[in-house]
Structure 1
């Protein structure tokens, strides 16, 4: 018997099934960073890169357990930012909501730019802006029709990524166990640990790999944003969050072992996709075209999730302002199909700026800087989510028999400290310094404005 969709009080529909949410979780965990950027991180750190992925995977798992615990206590919320508003105060909540939403818009822009780049592999003469308009129009339409259609699109996008990784792992395992000959020698597990040293290119390169892998995992929290529209949230939260670490181990560590087993890490090109390099050595000449298709669907998947998430976050912001304000009147609305259509449309409209970006090199460099700042802001947002979770533990909402974060007394402060160390490490990496300084300026400037605005509002209320 088909499970019936239920409607939330605000009009949104719980239309996402378990398979949708599980695939969205996998899609959020696996980005283009694995397909394209893994070569760069391996060339910096050698086999030690697996320690970097393991450490970050563990702390992201702890963060997801903290967010999952709060959602388990109240699965009616659409975004984890609502818990920051509830437990750290409206000023911090507004700051985080606006910061996260602006960051999402820039991630959408970056992914939209990427789609045009990948399409040019086959159609070099098509102008980028045409490709960008088509992708944005189609995916915004998918998000406007129904949450279930978004979930279905994400299911198939994620399936393509999974098939590519499993194909790589199966091919690699076969080549390693049969000791297949390649122009670089023989495929073997021994290639991974041959002449192994912890810091082959120095401690600095090892440390600089942490922010690179951190940004590869960015977006892992997208799955939590689907909980408000999932059919059986309590069951789905546990399953989606608990399998985060397993997915990271299977897909990332599995792929890295295979890549370094076939191509000695000293011979791996930092500028080319390691997936393409492995498949070509396996005698698959069409590898570049196939992996280009995979990263195109990966970018489209990220763009699809970004539009979904940005719409929910702007809707959340609109519900937290006075009901007679322009923002609340126009954007705190749910369409007949059960989606926050005005908030989705506004977010997608802002992403339309992307086609204009290609007109001058000046806008491109400004865009690169702003994207860097917004990426660095995610570290601050994640830290605030962890602090909100600590306040939740002290509140009346706390469920002693709920979906509790394991080893909370140790894992919570350790995760917060780890995120702060990642942020501090940005100042030691030349290309990340501007973004880190920009993130601090934004936090102090915009955060200060939010704080004083809140204080003024409270003063007015007390005077009345």
Structure 2
């Protein structure tokens, strides 16, 4: 029996079912950070990497509970940034909205570049710009047609990731219980704890793994952006958010246990996918091609989600300006299919800059720096979301019988403090210093511009 699709007051449609949102939540939690980047973090910290994932997973769960609590009180919103505007003021909200949207565009560009790289594994002679145009065009159309089609695409993208991880875990369990012989010894759970030390390569390498894993979890908040178009928002919010930590434990920790059980962690290559290494040891010669397909769909999934999110965020920005403003008239519109089409088209059009960047190495270098800065800005955005939640708790909107953040008086300040510590740690990691300084510069300069603009708007309104 089909659930009737309802239409919001702004014209968007609640077309996303529970299965769509659940898979989007999984897709947002699991990315190339696990499939490709986990080899690097394992080589830095050894088995202690599981502690890093567990600690970060716990704090991201608290953040999602804070965001989820606000959405539960008002599920009509399309983005968590709207709560920052409501509870921290229009100036901070405006700054956060533009910062998050610009950050999303750079994530889109990075993922689009990644798709071309992965396709070249099979077709090395195809120019990157052709691959990028095809992927961007197809996924932009998916987002423009209907929210339900976006949800369906994400459902299958996430399913591919899940199948790959489950296959790894089942293969690993079989090899460990049967003590399968490999060129590196025998697969066994004892490989994880053999000569175990908490900081095998020193305290610095252990601490520097936290920002790496933090960025692997980046995008976990995408699920909250689907709430405004979910069919049963209150039940969906609870289920999607509460299962976040469980998914992290099952997919991340489960995969890491299997990887280090089959391959002694001292033998794991930091420069190649540990998934490929495990499947090759299991006697699967096509492992590299299989994982390349998985990471290609993972990059396409991230690009799809970024286009969806960027469109909603720019639509939100357009609705926050006066109705006689050109931006409101142009981009605060919903198409007949129930999506913010003009905002999606603009966001996708700006991502078209990506093919141009492949022309010179200088542009690529600048892009790498800017992407690092935008990634670091996410820590600031997440912290502002937590501060907005604290203001929500003191407002008249607070629902005492709502979907409350557990142990709020303890977990809220701890989460904020943790995000601050993560940001400070960037200044002690050579490759992250430029991004961290850039993030502060962006905050000070763009924040000041936003403040002056908002003062001018208020002055004009008073006149």
Which category of TM-score, normalised to the shorter sequence, fits these structures?
over 0.9
Q: How does 1:305-324 map to 2 (within 5 A)?
A: 305-324=305-324
Give the total of aligned pairs: 463
TM-superposed CA distance for 1:458, in Å, is: 2.4
1:456 aligns with 2:456: yes
TM-superposed CA distance for 1:455, in Å, is: 2.2
1:301 aligns with 2:294: no
Structure 1 Cα separation of the partners of residues 138 and 455 of structure 2: 43
In structure 1, what is the equivalent of residue 40 of structure 2?
Answer: 40
In structure 2, what is the equivalent of residue 152 of structure 1?
Answer: 152
In structure 2, what is the equivalent of residue 239 of structure 1?
Answer: 239
In structure 1, what is the equivalent of residue 364 of structure 2?
Answer: 364
Q: Secondary structure at the match of 2:269?
A: coil
Q: Deviations over 1:347-399 (max 9, x none)?
A: 00000000000000000000000000000000000000000000000000000
TM-superposed CA distance for 1:207, in Å, is: 0.4
Q: How does 1:68-107 map to 2 (within 5 A)?
A: 68-107=68-107
Structure 1 Cα separation of the partners of residues 200 and 451 of structure 2: 47
Q: How does 1:47-446 map to 2 (within 5 A)?
A: 47-446=47-446
Specify every segment of 5 or more residues in structure 2 that has no aligned partner in the other structure, as ranges. Answer: none
TM-superposed CA distance for 1:4, in Å, is: 0.4
In structure 2, what is the equivalent of residue 14 of structure 1?
Answer: 14
TM-superposed CA distance for 1:17, in Å, is: 0.1
Structure 2 Cα separation of the partners of residues 453 and 361 of structure 1: 36
Structure 2 Cα separation of the partners of residues 304 and 461 of structure 1: 39
Structure 2 Cα separation of the partners of residues 74 and 457 of structure 1: 27
Structure 1 Cα separation of the partners of residues 113 and 454 of structure 2: 37
Structure 1 Cα separation of the partners of residues 373 and 460 of structure 2: 34
Structure 2 Cα separation of the partners of residues 268 and 339 of structure 1: 45
TM-superposed CA distance for 1:460, in Å, is: 3.3
- The alignment yields a C-alpha RMSD, in angstroms, of 0.5
Structure 2 Cα separation of the partners of residues 2 and 133 of structure 1: 36
TM-superposed CA distance for 1:456, in Å, is: 2.6
Structure 2 Cα separation of the partners of residues 288 and 459 of structure 1: 61
Q: Deviations over 1:159-218 (max 9, x none)?
A: 000000000000000000000000000000000010000100000000000000000000
Structure 2 Cα separation of the partners of residues 119 and 461 of structure 1: 53
Structure 2 Cα separation of the partners of residues 136 and 453 of structure 1: 33
TM-score (norm: length of structure 2): 1.00
Structure 2 Cα separation of the partners of residues 459 and 114 of structure 1: 46
Structure 2 Cα separation of the partners of residues 152 and 461 of structure 1: 44
Q: Deviations over 1:320-346 (max 9, x none)?
A: 001111110100000000000000000
Structure 2 Cα separation of the partners of residues 7 and 176 of structure 1: 52
TM-superposed CA distance for 1:58, in Å, is: 0.2
Structure 2 Cα separation of the partners of residues 318 and 384 of structure 1: 21
Specify every segment of 5 or more residues in structure 1 that has no aligned partner in the other structure, as ranges. Answer: none
Query: Comparing 9-18 with 448-457, which one deviates more in the overlay?
Result: 448-457
TM-superposed CA distance for 1:449, in Å, is: 1.1
Q: Secondary structure at the match of 2:36?
A: helix
Structure 2 Cα separation of the partners of residues 114 and 377 of structure 1: 21
Structure 1 Cα separation of the partners of residues 109 and 272 of structure 2: 23
Q: Deviations over 1:40-67 (max 9, x none)?
A: 0000000000000000000000000000
TM-superposed CA distance for 1:91, in Å, is: 0.4
Structure 2 Cα separation of the partners of residues 459 and 313 of structure 1: 26
